Amino acid sequence: MSELRAGLLGVGMMGRHHARVLRELPGVELVAIADPGGDPHGVAGRLPILPDIDALIAEGIDIAVVAVPTRFHEDAALRLAEAGVHTLVEKPIADTVEAGQRMVDAFAAKGLVGAVGHIERFNPALQELRRRLEAGDLGDVYQIATRRQGPFPSRIADVGVGKDLASHDIDLTAWVAQSTYRTVFAQTAHKSGREYEDMVTATGRLANGTVVSHLVNWLSPMKERITIVTGERGAFVADTATGDLTFYANGTIPLEWESVSSFRGVSEGDVIRYAFAKREPLRVEHENFRDAVLGEQTDVVTMEQGLRTLEVVEGMLRSARTGVAVDF
């Protein structure tokens, strides 16, 4: 089978990594790159830097990756859909739910694969966590809590921390739990003098009853990427910054300390940090996208799923503005 001809729109901070992985991916040939801002990181190699999406499409590509600022996603995606090009759009899917819905409809009408780059789903710690939850290692899942904190990224100028970072946690939480969101309540803060929020605290419940919470900001001097899943048999802690997964088991040894034994809940048990292969999440994401285009069943983040994630983010921001919970 001939290789899929790939085009890349945008070679900024994220696009440069897409370029590298596309060049390494079996069954795919990177044949065209477009960026009206040029090639700041020098990733084009022998390929010319094309001026716009129309020039990219004219190269006869089969698949495309869109890695431009969020406000440009819709226009690029709709042009690619009209041209019959399977497309992976960086997260979030769009800057508004309405724009995201138009993208979903366009790709569905053409029978094309439309995907969204929620890369955290492909982090090895979360992949291993999902496998162990499916195997029943935790029993019933009670709660999923995430913490995503770090310094301000100066390259992000067109969205707030909700769409930029909280969207990761919403997608991975729904995927880990295999359930959509039922309700969410949130608070936001604006501390950096920008138009958009830079701090979000949210709580909610999934359709399957799991309680969730998300602590997100880009005002912290340390970087933290933690997902904690608490359930019947203990708790999993996934650190997606390092790719580590640790299991804290409920204790089975009887307590003899009177002041502690009066507590009727669980106690500390064994702690296990698992060893497993840690593949680059971006490469795994691209493999899933490639295989989906080839007609295989994969766990690619569909545009429909990306739209649902954006709806939850918009619900969080609406809850923060109104002071009331939002139901889905």
- pLDDT digit of tens for each residue in the chain (328 aa)? 589 999 999 999 899 999 999 999 999 999 999 999 999 999 999 999 999 999 999 999 999 999 999 999 999 999 999 999 999 999 999 999 999 999 999 999 999 999 999 999 999 999 999 999 999 999 999 999 999 999 987 666 678 999 999 999 999 999 999 999 999 999 999 998 888 999 999 999 999 999 999 999 999 999 999 999 999 999 999 999 999 999 999 986 665 655 555 555 677 789 999 999 999 999 999 999 999 999 999 999 999 999 999 999 999 999 999 999 999 9
Q: Phi first, then psi: what are they for 171, rounded to 5°?
A: -65, -50
For 258, which DSSP code?
Answer: H
Residue showing tokens 């955290």: 120
d(C-alpha 251, C-alpha 66), whole Å: 48
d(C-alpha 201, C-alpha 55), whole Å: 42
For 6, which DSSP code?
Answer: E
Tokens for 41, please give them: 């990181």
* Digit-coded pLDDT (tens) for 258-274: 555 555 567 778 999 99
CB 155, CB 13: distance < 8 Å: yes
CB 85, CB 70: distance < 8 Å: no
Calculate the dihedral angle through the C-alpha atoms of 13, 16, 17, 23, rounding to the nearest 10 degrees: 170
For 92, which DSSP code?
Answer: S
Q: Phi first, then psi: what are they for 123, rounded to 5°?
A: -65, 135
Residue showing tokens 């969204």: 116
Q: Which among 251, 279, 280, 248 has a CA at the least distance from the CA of 265?
A: 251
d(C-alpha 132, C-alpha 107), whole Å: 33
Total-model pTM: 0.92
